[in-house]
Amino acid sequence: MKEVYLIRHAKSSWADPNQKDHDRPLNSRGKRDAPDMAARLAKTGLKVDGILTSSAKRTRQTAKVFAEAFGLGKSRIVKEKKLYHAGPKTIQKCIQDLPEDWSTVLVFGHNPGYTEAANALQNDDYIGNVPTCGIIGSRLETKKWSKWTLADATRTAFYYPKQKK
């Protein structure tokens, strides 16, 4: 079985209007929400093998917080420029290229691609928006990442910061 948790980056800063989008860091709310959501996911007992993250600063910062919560070192974090504002097809392709010895992965990226990907998973509940630091869990009975597709995987979880626990 392969499990993927699509995690949208935490809230980013717009303090510097001249800053390139790719270089925007987390704002104070993002710095608060990321550790809270990482702890919430860790409390489920999930064992994470690795992290795949967009190269944008805000996603890397969010991924780092989750890596710490799951005790993952830098060697278990893969940066992928193609995930920066990726759509569902690109997200799926990046997942299909993951190391086969990883079974459970956290994949950090951006909207609107993450909301579109969440709704491509098997589930009857439509998600209008994956909010910042929102987490979408999915699972597929397969041994190979190359066989993992959004259409075949089942959505297993949807967590977000303002959700009642």
106-147 per-position pLDDT tens digit: 999 999 999 999 999 999 899 999 999 999 999 999 999 999
Asked whether the predicted pLDDT for residue 165 surpasses 70, the reply is no
Asked whether the predicted pLDDT for residue 161 surpasses 90, the reply is yes
Tell me which long-range contacts 59-64 makes (C-beta under 8 A, separation of at least 24).
59/9, 59/83, 59/84, 59/108, 59/109, 59/110, 60/108, 61/9, 61/10, 61/25, 61/26, 61/30, 61/34, 62/7, 62/9, 62/10, 62/26, 62/30, 62/34, 62/108, 62/133, 63/7, 63/106, 63/108
Q: Does domain 2-13+20-159 have CATH number 3.40.50.1820?
A: no
